[in-house]
């Protein structure tokens, strides 16, 4: 799924909100970590309902009652990290501020290094204009490696993803797929040399793996899962991680097959995780959904693979106030009408309305978390 990344302006907001007066200090690692348990850790992306500082702070406070973790998915500052991992970087400061906000609300963080465009997984994000957009490019490989190692050294994440929904890129550019795979194996080895306990993975878009998207460039048969795109990363996947937005493939969550996710249980004996996903609670564009569909979606994942999940990230807690986002994007000169429309496709995926009014699925989500 061409998906929403973290709120475009949250970098500036967290920098202003947390680091005024000096360089922020990373909070200490919790003495008791949610990851020390065998229970599933539940969480969200840090995307607030409105594009304001107040909304960011309220979002983190609200997370404390419904989540254990936050998933940070950042792009790569390519030029900054071309020559070295040890450089001053505003993005590192921004991530530190996210850790501060998370720590203040008893939340831990999962990180994903993301080379691709969050609104279009088939293209790179933020690549300098004179760089060749492929994973064979030595500059791309160097910056990717340097940035990833800086994340490892600076933040010591327990779980670290090196790509998001990478199969969509691999389907589109099969000639470049092996270049990313080789880069992954190289960086995996470097991470393990420095931080052997860090659990490393990439995420796979489940509907795409199942050939359920109209116009899929791979042209596969529905439900013939493209396991080869996953297993090419073995033996260096510490866990298997998917994203799933079935409202892009089904008119109703009732149409999700009873064995839709269960092939994962027999294909691998490793831990599983959901790194993002959701179901819209209203009709939007070509997609259908209602509040009961959200309940049915959560129940499908929980009943089919819930016992094997090490973490489960639902995209957003609150719906978006799209007017607020559109104004922010216009003010900052980022995005266009197409980006706003794409954002709107996910605007009603939240488990609450943008004003905080809970939907039926929130009670279900909380019950899973409380009874894990």
Question: DSSP states of 86-146 as a string?
Answer: ----HHHHHHHHHHHHHHHTT-EEEEEEE-EETTEEEEESS--TTS-SSTT-HHHHHHHHH
Q: Which residue has the tokens 């079935």?
A: 246
3-class DSSP assignment, residue 159:
strand
Work out the widest C-alpha separation in the chain, in whole angstroms: 57
Check if the beta carbon of residue 305 is closer than 8 Å to that of residue 267.
no
Check if the beta carbon of residue 129 is closer than 8 Å to that of residue 62.
no
Tell me the pLDDT tens digit for each residue of 162-196.
999 999 999 999 999 999 999 999 999 999 999 99
CA end-to-end distance (rounded Å), the chain: 29
Q: pTM here?
A: 0.93
Tell me which of 56-60, 118-122, 168-172, 280-284 is least confident. Answer: 118-122
CATH code for the domain defined by 10-370: 3.20.20.80
Tell me the pLDDT tens digit for each residue of 354-364.
999 999 999 99
Tokens of 225: 């899962």
Confidence band (pLDDT; 50, 70, 90) for 122?
A: confident
- Upstream peptide bond of 263 is cis (omega within 30 degrees of 0): no
């Amino acid at each position: 799924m061409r998906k929403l990344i973290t709120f475009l302006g949250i970098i500036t907001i967290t920098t202003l909100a947390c680091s005024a007066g000096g360089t922020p200090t990373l909070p200490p690692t919790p003495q008791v970590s949610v990851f020390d348990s065998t229970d599933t850790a539940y969480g969200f992306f840090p995307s607030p309902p409105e594009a304001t500082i107040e909304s960011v702070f309220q979002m983190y406070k609200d997370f404390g009652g419904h989540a254990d973790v936050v998933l940070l998915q950042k792009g790569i500052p390519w030029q900054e990290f071309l020559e070295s991992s040890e450089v001053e970087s505003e993005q590192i400061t921004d991530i530190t501020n996210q850790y501060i906000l998370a720590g203040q609300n008893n939340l831990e963080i999962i990180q994903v290094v993301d080379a691709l465009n969050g609104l279009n997984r088939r293209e790179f994000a933020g690549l300098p204009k004179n760089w060749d957009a492929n994973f064979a490019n030595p500059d791309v490989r160097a910056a990717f490696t340097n940035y990833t190692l800086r994340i490892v050294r600076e933040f010591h994440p327990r779980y670290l993803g090196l790509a998001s929904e990478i199969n969509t890129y691999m389907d589109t550019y099969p000639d470049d797929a092996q270049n990313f795979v080789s880069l992954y194996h190289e960086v995996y080895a470097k991470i393990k040399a420095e931080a052997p306990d860090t659990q490393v993975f990439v995420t796979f878009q489940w509907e795409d793996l199942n050939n359920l998207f109209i116009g899929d460039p791979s042209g596969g048969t529905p439900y013939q899962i493209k396991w080869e795109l996953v297993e090419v990363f073995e033996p260096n996947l510490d866990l298997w991680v998917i994203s799933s937005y079935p409202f892009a493939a089904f008119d109703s969550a009732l149409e999700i097959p009873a064995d839709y996710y269960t092939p994962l249980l027999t294909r691998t004996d490793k831990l599983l995780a959901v790194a993002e996903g959701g179901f819209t609670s209203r009709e939007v564009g070509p997609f259908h959904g209602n509040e009961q569909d959200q309940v049915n979606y959560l129940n499908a994942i929980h009943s089919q693979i819930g016992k094997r999940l090490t973490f489960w990230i639902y995209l957003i807690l609150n719906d978006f106030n799209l007017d607020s986002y559109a104004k922010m994007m216009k003010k900052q000169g980022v995005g266009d009408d197409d980006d706003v429309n794409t954002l709107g496709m996910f605007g009603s995926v939240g488990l609450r309305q943008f004003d905080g009014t809970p939907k039926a699925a929130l009670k279900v989500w909380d019950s899973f978390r409380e009874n894990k």
